Amino acid sequence: MDYRKALEKKLGLNNVSYQYNLPKDVLFEEAIKHDRGRVKKDGPDDAQKAFATRLGVDGPLIYYGDPSCTGRPVHDTFMVAWPEVEGDIWWKDNLKKFDAGKYEGLLERVVKHVNARETRLYVQDVFAGADPEYAVPYRFVGEFATHAMFAHNMFPKDVEGIENAEDKRWTMLNVPSFHCDPERDGSFSRRAVIIDVRNQICLVVGRADYCGVVKKSMFTVLNYLLPEQNFLSMHCSGNVGKGGDAAIMFGLSGTGKTTLSADPDRYLVGDDELGWTEVGISNFEDGCYAKLIDLDKEAESVIAAALSMPGTIIENVPPLPGKDLADTDPQEFDLTDKSITENTRFSYPLSCNPNVAEGSRGGHPETIVLLTADAFGTLPPVSVLDSKDVMYHFAQGFTSRLAGTEVGVTSPQAAFSSCFGAPFMARRPAVYAKLLQEKMDKHNARCILLNTGWNGGAAGDVPRISLKNTRAMLDAALSGDLHADDMEYSLHPIFKLRIPKSCPGVDPAMLDPEAAWPDADAYRESAEKLRDMFRANFKKNNFTDFGIDEVM
């Protein structure tokens, strides 16, 4: 069906103009010319949002979101509580119920608003997923050309072999110019991100113009759909060795998923969202959405080079003082500047990476890595996990927040996010944990817990574990050295984790976290506090009821 007729039938759009599947160089110019909204807290709603640098269309598009939405609006994210799906969804603070009747009224008002304004809408047809076994045709429809360009960057464009493709299509209607009335519309504020499973619609309205909404909404959709096919959807990165050995790395933001998956000796499958089917792993995406704050250009050379490439999007990086963006080379940006947000971002195609696995796919993982960045400095740098350990740490999804990264955070704080991505997990953690255990056992995958945080003391007192040491430990896991028959282990007395006594390229002294601290009593006190946080989170979430053993 023609997309115009399909959108009129599905949404009722009948008095709009469409810009359909424009190439990125045209979207670049359209964004600068037409994308308008608020970019300063007390600023007007018609300010320019997209800009060129000195490189023009041969360089990145610079985009500024609404200052109240420089990250995912988790408290304004919902799924429609249709009766046939209400019992399947993991309802929580960052994925709330939206009343079905209120939703239908809101959608009708949004469409009426768009038709009355004779809105210029950008339509981009892409796919969520690289594997036709589960890939979902995804039609982005929105007011901002920047968002259409982002969809072009982040999702596959040509996926062949999808059965009943039109029946599987999801549509996002993204209308920043419509502001909700909470009392009338049933929202919590004047913005909302609403996922409608029954009608396969994502509705985004109000000040929710952070680019990540275009991506993470569909990740949540896939997290709902894939378990029905007995496929595992994962918030992880993945790569494949020259011998075909695949690996996946789970982790929350800041733990190293993107950095560690970009390995010159291995082929990248994806850096953030993957699926695991009966034939192996595959990327949900066709691009990367990397954090830019404090980027080390030498360590992150791929991202640094892509900053100057055409068709990419730099989000919320402040202009240089006293210098017009039009006169700025992208490499001149101050990537330590947090004056707009700590969450500065960069969207670029997967093709910017020099080593990408064919079809963004790989076989069944031989190695599973659970990443954590322990700012307390108490977890071992690397631990070898058995099946029960994996389920426990996967369900907990631990990392830590550092002092200064959020208002009110003055010392390291524990952060638990089930499945290493709780906000996006539409079903209960046990669904994904069970699938992971089944696949891990079936394919004899080995697993480690890799601490990319601190050792020998807490953050602020000692340096972070070096990337050199982290890579050496990861390489040893990928090669199987940490699971070798002759490997000797010690059992951590507090965390009950198996610690290898040696690792190629790493000083054995650093592998024992207690020995790395200058004060053993201070170490044990800090480790016991973290252990108690693990126990409290386990109890709070009733993980035992889901068949997960309390191993700590």
- For the chain, the structural domain boundaries read 16-229, 232-276+364-546
- Indicate whether 34 pLDDT > 60: yes
Write out the E strands in 72-184.
Answer: 77-80, 96-98, 120-128, 136-142, 170-175
pLDDT band at residue 266, thresholds of 50, 70 and 90?
Answer: very high
- Indicate whether 408 pLDDT > 50: no
pLDDT band at residue 404, thresholds of 50, 70 and 90?
Answer: very low
pLDDT band at residue 409, thresholds of 50, 70 and 90?
Answer: very low
Say which amino acid occupies 240.
V
Distance of alpha carbon 219 from alpha carbon 214, whole angstroms: 9
- Indicate whether 545 pLDDT > 90: no
pLDDT band at residue 364, thresholds of 50, 70 and 90?
Answer: very high
Per the CB < 8 A criterion, the answer to whether 221 and 202 are in contact is yes
3-state SS, residue 462: strand
- Maximal CA-CA distance, the chain: 73
Query: Could you give the percent of the chain with pLDDT greater than 90?
Result: 90
Higher pLDDT, 163 or 380: 380
Sheet holding 345-349, edge to edge: 50-52, 61-63, 313-315, 345-349, 287-291
pLDDT at 258: 85
pLDDT at 178: 98
Catalytic residue among 96, 147, 207, 257: 257
Residue in 60, 88, 90, 38 with CA at minimum distance from that of residue 428? 90
Q: Which single residue is written with the structure tokens 């709009």? A: 16
- Indicate whether 403 pLDDT > 80: no
Residue in 492, 494, 490, 493 with CA at minimum distance from that of residue 530? 494
Catalytic residue among 147, 345, 361, 364: 345
Give the predicted TM-score (pTM) of the model. 0.93
CA distance readout (Å), 160 to 126, 200, 357, 505, 506: 12, 21, 18, 44, 46
Distance of alpha carbon 52 from alpha carbon 61, whole angstroms: 5
HEC secondary structure over 341-371: CCCCEEEEEHHHCCCECHHHEECCEEEEEEE
**79, two tokens:** 């799924």
pLDDT band at residue 433, thresholds of 50, 70 and 90?
Answer: very high
- Indicate whether 402 pLDDT > 90: no
- CATH class of this structure's domain 232-276+364-546: alpha beta
Per the CB < 8 A criterion, the answer to whether 352 and 305 are in contact is yes
Give the mean pLDDT of 377-383: 97
Would residue 496 show up in a list of annotated catalytic residues for this protein?
Answer: no
- Indicate whether 407 pLDDT > 90: no
Query: Could you give the percent of the chain with pLDDT greater than 70?
Result: 98
pLDDT at 302: 87
Would residue 531 show up in a list of annotated catalytic residues for this protein?
Answer: no
Q: How many residues does the chain have?
A: 552
- CATH class of this structure's domain 16-229: alpha beta
Distance of alpha carbon 523 from alpha carbon 458, whole angstroms: 10
Sheet holding 96-98, edge to edge: 17-20, 120-128, 136-142, 170-175, 201-205, 192-196, 77-80, 96-98
Phi-psi region of 54 (alpha: psi -120 to 50; beta: other; left: phi over 0): alpha
pLDDT at 299: 81
- Indicate whether 412 pLDDT > 90: no
Catalytic residue among 146, 187, 220, 253: 253
Would residue 501 show up in a list of annotated catalytic residues for this protein?
Answer: no
CA distance readout (Å), 520 to 395, 512, 527: 30, 11, 10
Give the mean pLDDT of 224-241: 96
pLDDT at 411: 61
Domains 16-229 and 232-276+364-546 share a fold: no
Lowest mean pLDDT among 73-82, 242-251, 417-426, 539-548: 539-548
pLDDT at 102: 98
Distance of alpha carbon 474 from alpha carbon 351, whole angstroms: 24
Distance of alpha carbon 458 from alpha carbon 150, whole angstroms: 38
For residue 267, the cross-strand partners are 240
**378, two tokens:** 């108490």
Catalytic residue among 38, 139, 152, 216: 216
3-state SS, residue 22: coil
Would residue 253 show up in a list of annotated catalytic residues for this protein?
Answer: yes
Would residue 389 show up in a list of annotated catalytic residues for this protein?
Answer: no
pLDDT at 546: 83
CA distance readout (Å), 385 to 242, 357, 363, 388: 25, 27, 21, 8
Would residue 72 show up in a list of annotated catalytic residues for this protein?
Answer: yes
- Indicate whether 62 pLDDT > 60: yes
Q: Which residues have C-beta within 8 Å of that of residue 415, sequence separation ≥ 6?
A: 252, 398, 399, 400, 401
Catalytic residue among 185, 272, 389, 475: 272
Instruction: Summarize pLDDT for 444-456 with one digit per residue, the tens.
Output: 999 999 999 999 9
Instruction: Summarize pLDDT for 496-523 with one digit per residue, the tens.
Output: 999 999 999 999 999 999 999 999 999 9
Q: Which single residue is written with the structure tokens 């099946």? A: 387
Lowest mean pLDDT among 33-37, 114-118, 215-219, 349-353: 349-353
**210, two tokens:** 């952070």
- Indicate whether 11 pLDDT > 80: yes
Catalytic residue among 38, 235, 266, 401: 235
Give the mean pLDDT of 29-54: 97
Give the mean pLDDT of 358-367: 96
Average pLDDT, the chain: 95
Per the CB < 8 A criterion, the answer to whether 552 and 534 are in contact is yes
Catalytic residue among 258, 341, 372, 378: 258
Say which amino acid occupies 148.
A
Instruction: Summarize pLDDT for 130-169 with one digit per residue, the tens.
Output: 999 999 999 999 999 999 999 999 999 989 999 999 999 9
Catalytic residue among 72, 207, 439, 446: 72
Per the CB < 8 A criterion, the answer to whether 458 and 516 are in contact is no
Q: Give me the torsion for CA of 470, 471, 476, 480, rounded to 10°.
A: 110
